[in-house]
Amino acid sequence: MLASPSEWSFSAGALVERASAEAVAALWRRHDTSSYTAAEKAEMLIDPYEEAPKYALAAIYFILAGIGLAAIGNLFTVLRRTTFGRRIAANRVVRRFRAGFRWIACSQPRAIGWIRFPTTGTILLISSFWIFILVWSLSITPYYRSRWNVGSPPLAIRTGLFALGIFPFILAFGAKWNWVTFVTGYSHEKLQVVHQWLSHLFLVLSLLHTFPFVMAGREIRPNTDGKNPHLYSQIYYSGWVAHKVYYWSGIAALVPLAWLCWGSATPLRNRFYEIFKYLHFVSAILFSGFFYIHCNRLLGSWHYLWATAILYLSSVIMRFALLFVRNGRSIPRATVELLPESTVRVLISCPPGHRWKAGQHVFLNFIKARPLESHPITVANAPWLHPNAKAGPRTMMMLLRISPRSGLGPSLLELASTGSSTPVLIDGPYGGLMTSDLGVHEHVVLLAGGGGVSFVSSILQDLCERKARNFEGIATRKVEVHWAVKNEGSSMARAWLDDHFASVVALVPDDFVRIHFYVTKSAITSDDVAEAAIVPAVPAIAEEKSEAHESLNSKRSFTSGSPTPLSYFTTHRGRPQLPLLLSQIFLSCPSTQSVGIASCGPSEFTTAVRNAVAKRQKEIFLGVAEGAQEVNLHTEEFDW
């Protein structure tokens, strides 16, 4: 509701004296003040229009501070790999402080239906920014000027400038190759949650920017100049009679913005991903164009847009430059091999300039299959060469569970049946452990739910390779792998993975690796998807190796000094009790040892792992933990 002039019963002189001389001078230069009353002049000095850029800068400083803290944490992670860093990490005070931080960073609320929550640390960080912006936006009154010609509603200007300051970071957090990842060590998929919630805040601020203009614009424009004989409202006259660019372009930008946010809801994105991807791209272009027109260079707004363009275009240029360099002059070719249970194995001979690390993923474009689509796939092997290796040091191996009737599946099945290869474009690698190193921990636990075993298998190979070579900095003494699937027959390429595990385990001493395989159901249905479950109804029960395993074993040969065939492998019936399992591992370790955990699986699986580790971090922080006094967790998920 608009304030009446009688409500402005304050001392105009006092307010003018309190206002900065610069603001007063700028205000009087911009306005012909002869037609304003003293109260209206004083009113214009409350949260003046000319000082509004401070709100955009405040949003920028807040986000930069968060990025700076993450960069400092990344620096400590890198330092942890050095002798000096390990000495610092062993300090009791440092250890407890770090555990307190990880306690907050690891814990995660459970999903409610399709609504998934980020970790508690991320929630606190995002919530603090939302509160900072919204409280500042709504705490300053009045929200409106006493009449339209006195000035734009202060609430609208504040929220508009806050949104402007956020805009560069929305695109920066959303790019695959981005400067935030470069500084903080957080891969693009882990930054998606920030990208999404900043986008939602941008939409809220845009609505708070729009509605005050709608409310204030209901005022009837006087016809003193003879240009409004129909007595249109101020906003209607400005937008559709005077054709001022701010109004139509604002509505035009708001429509694609709403789709960008609401159309990205998880059910829609997962169900219609390819359509979503193209509409998202088109909507982003439309919004950016209309937003540029809407800003109209007011209050230096175009400077922020040019900065946004530089940030995003530099990310795109770097991404495609690396794509060109890594793929080389001759495009890599991939062979596709059909494995049981609708699984295919993809082998790619990479160019000499291409490098990747264990646990990373790439985006593949199968030119013969789906030339206009790229698909994220985790590399299932590490880039090492050992005596038992099935492929060269530059050969990527990937496992895909496909649908024979939809998506990419039919095209890959056709390639596999004909035995022909296809050129591929490799975009990446991305993600993985980034600057972290599980090799600095004495005890390593690898947890996989269903297809998450691709991530785990490459990490295991990397650790075994480094152990066999006495790689500098490798402190690991034991590795445990826990892999859960719905049905034994539905486990992705089980025979191939058995061979892969056997070849890398043969490199290390007998007691270095233990693999636990969990079968959560006993029968296979046509709709089963390989995935793991969490908190069980019954505990997993270990059993003897099946005849099929024994038969498979009899066909394998091992180098001298390797474990007895499958002595490292145990099959369990039932779901893994992840909290109990991890608790027992922590208690079994001496206090001088640290535990490194890597987990990949469905969201329910990783949530259970995070909360079990968070409980341990809390115990370490409070000084009541027995056993291992340092636990580090890295998680990957199927969905972003």
Are 624 and 541 part of one and the same domain? yes
What amino acid occupies position 281? F
| Nearest to 288, CA basis, from 318, 303, 309 | 309
Distances (CA, A) of 500 to 77, 382, 493, 504, 544: 30, 11, 10, 7, 21
| Token pair 């504040």: residue | 158
| Nearest to 426, CA basis, from 519, 344, 339, 326 | 326
The C-alpha angle 461, 443, 190, rounded to 5 degrees, equals 70
What backbone phi and psi angles, to 5 degrees, belong to 221? -75, 130
Are 470 and 426 part of one and the same domain? no
What distance lies between CA 161 and its chain's CA centroid? 26
Residue 447 has a pLDDT of 96
| Nearest to 375, CA basis, from 334, 317, 321 | 334
What backbone phi and psi angles, to 5 degrees, belong to 220? -75, 130
Query: CA 190, CA 430: separation in Å to the nearest integer?
Result: 11
Are 350 and 412 part of one and the same domain? yes
Residue 547 has a pLDDT of 36
Residue 551 has a pLDDT of 36
Are 398 and 502 part of one and the same domain? no
Interaxial angle between packed helices 53-79 and 120-139, expressed in degrees from 0 to 180 and rounded to the nearest 10? 160
Distances (CA, A) of 197 to 173, 269, 350: 11, 16, 37
- Along the chain (640 residues), what's the average pLDDT of each consecutive run of 10 residues? 43 48 60 69 83 95 95 86 79 89 92 86 95 96 87 92 96 92 90 94 96 89 81 82 85 94 85 84 94 91 93 92 81 84 82 83 85 84 66 74 72 80 88 87 93 91 90 89 81 71 87 91 45 37 40 35 60 90 94 92 92 95 91 82
Does residue 118 lie within any of the structural domains? yes
Q: Strand 343-349 and strand 395-401: pairing?
A: antiparallel
Are 229 and 137 part of one and the same domain? yes
The DSSP annotation for 384-438 comes to ---TT-SS-TTEEEEEEE--TTSTTHHHHHHHHHHT-EEEEEEEEEE-TTTT--G
Are 442 and 521 part of one and the same domain? yes
What amino acid occupies position 353? G
Helices (H) and strands (E) in the chain, counts: 21, 13
* Single residue among 387, 410, 430 that ends a domain in this structure: 430
Are 342 and 467 part of one and the same domain? no
Are 467 and 568 part of one and the same domain? yes
| Number of CB atoms found within 10 A of residue 527's CB | 5
Does residue 244 lie within any of the structural domains? no
Does residue 266 lie within any of the structural domains? no
Are 513 and 623 part of one and the same domain? yes
Tell me the residue range of the domain where 402 lies: 333-430
* Single residue among 430, 449, 467 that ends a domain in this structure: 430
Does residue 108 lie within any of the structural domains? yes
Are 84 and 222 part of one and the same domain? yes
What amino acid occupies position 426? I
pTM to 2 decimals? 0.85
- Kindly compute the dihedral angle of the four CA atoms of residues 408, 414, 419, 425, in this order, to the nearest 10 degrees: -30
Does residue 251 lie within any of the structural domains? no
Residue 227 has a pLDDT of 83
The C-alpha angle 452, 457, 459, rounded to 5 degrees, equals 105
Residue 21 has a pLDDT of 58
Does residue 306 lie within any of the structural domains? no
What backbone phi and psi angles, to 5 degrees, belong to 35? -95, 5
Q: How many domains are there within the chain?
A: 4
Are 56 and 183 part of one and the same domain? yes
* CATH number of residue 490's parent domain: 3.40.50.80
Are 35 and 120 part of one and the same domain? no
Residue 392 has a pLDDT of 57
| Number of CB atoms found within 10 A of residue 483's CB | 26
Query: CA 603, CA 411: separation in Å to the nearest integer?
Result: 29
* Single residue among 234, 249, 266 that ends a domain in this structure: 234
Burial 265-280 (b: 16+ CB within 10 A, else e): eeeebeeeeeebeebb
Does residue 612 lie within any of the structural domains? yes
Contact 92, 588 (CB under 8 A): no
Residue 548 has a pLDDT of 33
Cis peptide before 118 (omega within 30 of 0): no
* CATH number of residue 395's parent domain: 2.40.30.10
Does residue 321 lie within any of the structural domains? no
